Structure 1
């Protein structure tokens, strides 16, 4: 990991690296956390090689934009600068500026809050077998990519790095975090998805599904939106115009996220051993789609 002046590396996930201020012994006693998004890309619970150029900056920019749009939902961002006299002092080191967020530490809930608005991915596979998604019955006759009658909240247990996340029932979520927190996680997740979907649809983009993470504020206990939000890594994004006009279900799901990577990997790897390196054209196409999504959503 890069050495950053004033910060100590404490954790690396599949995509992000976490740092705490010098003097803190870890996440448990830090007053702030620096979240640095790398260019690493993961699929099927594996980190792949090579990374996607500028991905960290693109994802951070998109997350920050979405946090601004979702201003009625508490989030973990804190000011990334301070005022010393008349001088503004940036708290984020220049080496990672543009791909970092300064956040307050939270007591994270061990639940990935997944919301599905469309039938696709593992949900489509389950539907074909049982006419349900994560055990929730659905009407007969749906096709791959169809919009669901209403968005579904389908939580998952957050597995440690290197293990597979596991879909769980709402009742299991209650066992993990308590009834009140479980209800609020479901309410907030559906609210953020529905508001985000409306914003995206106005820009010709469909959010097919997404996942959120929440934690409790260590001072107030308030449930707070954390990590990334509605990025190309945590969400499936489709082009609404293509969705409306494509001749087949598969063709209408033109993706702005890392589905290009998933599809290539699924066709070229049996999910055993080490994943193969991504070809240059897959890397380039994925980077271009990440950029296009950011431009279409934000206008930047």
Structure 2
């Protein structure tokens, strides 16, 4: 097994057959800094929720999964055997509600990724319709918002339209399923690659608590003081933003035990609500 790549959360290996093994860790990152304290079961929760969604979305777009069980035993539950792809260097983001960096961009520009939005929106506002707000996929530093036309200049009109349409379909399908189960998916990020046949393929993770914002339907309130109750890693971001002695650069702070436990509980809550399965670590 050859180690190919290390990301903030996942490691990528390749076996002698050319298959890739994508392994999710229990690490958590905020502001592009990996914190030193793991969240128990996080890697397995992300992997199992992604696998559930890959099945739900199989009629929308092919995915990279070959097997979730044919992986080395030490990575069972947190690894996926997948097909090699030529990954597209753009973060495909769909937003149905205004939050996070999208909110900050709106407050500055009145738009997100060049998509004009109505005046008077606040944190948590539902948008008139879901929007496609791509960003760069930075290897260093932070991702930056880019417009649809800027994506066209790199990938062409047909491919960019395909990426936008797939991103919005994945979001809309996922948001409808989750809402029936008491969760608002405020926004989500997906990644695509091109396979050996030239098809666009969904890769990495999909509709998880790391790649999405999950809010409880019955607690949602636009402009809610302190923001919406998060069932995702926003909870860790919010905790870290209260620290006066950390400048959001490496090394990050240790996460207190109570924040670790509360974060894990939110990830479990999202998994159980969405899938209907009881989490067994």
Normalized against structure 2, the TM-score is what?
0.93
Distance 1:74 1:178 in 2: 21
Distance 1:157 1:164 in 2: 8
Distance 1:214 1:250 in 2: 36
- How much does 1:79 deviate? 3.4
1:255 paired residue among 230, 246, 270: 230
Checking the alignment, whether the CA contact within 8 Å between 2:215 and 2:228 is kept in structure 1 is: yes
Gaps of 5+ in 2: none
**Does structure 1 residue 41 correspond to structure 2 residue 28?**
yes
Distance 2:222 2:131 in 1: 26
- How much does 1:92 deviate? 0.8
**Does structure 1 residue 165 correspond to structure 2 residue 153?**
no
State the SS of the aligned residue for 2:26: coil
Counterpart of 1:192? 170
Counterpart of 1:144? 123
Checking the alignment, whether the CA contact within 8 Å between 2:122 and 2:223 is kept in structure 1 is: no
Distance 1:251 1:267 in 2: 12
Checking the alignment, whether the CA contact within 8 Å between 1:144 and 1:250 is kept in structure 2 is: no
State the SS of the aligned residue for 1:210: strand
Checking the alignment, whether the CA contact within 8 Å between 2:114 and 2:146 is kept in structure 1 is: no
Checking the alignment, whether the CA contact within 8 Å between 1:206 and 1:237 is kept in structure 2 is: yes
2:10 paired residue among 7, 16, 20: 16
- How much does 1:170 deviate? 1.0
Distance 1:251 1:159 in 2: 29
Normalized against structure 1, the TM-score is what?
0.87
Counterpart of 1:271? 248
Gaps of 5+ in 1: 1-6, 25-29, 81-89
> How many residue pairs get matched?
274
Equivalent residues in 2 for 1:1-300, closer than 5 Å? 7-22=1-16, 30=18, 32-72=19-59, 73-80=61-68, 91-160=70-139, 162-218=140-196, 220-243=197-220, 249-250=224-225, 253-268=228-243, 269-300=246-277
State the SS of the aligned residue for 1:117: strand
Distance 1:239 1:70 in 2: 22
Question: Bigger relative contact order, structure 1 or 2, given CA contacts below 8 A and separation 6+?
Answer: 2
State the SS of the aligned residue for 2:181: coil
Bigger radius of gyration: 1
Distance 2:55 2:222 in 1: 36
Distance 1:171 1:249 in 2: 34
- How much does 1:247 deviate? 8.9
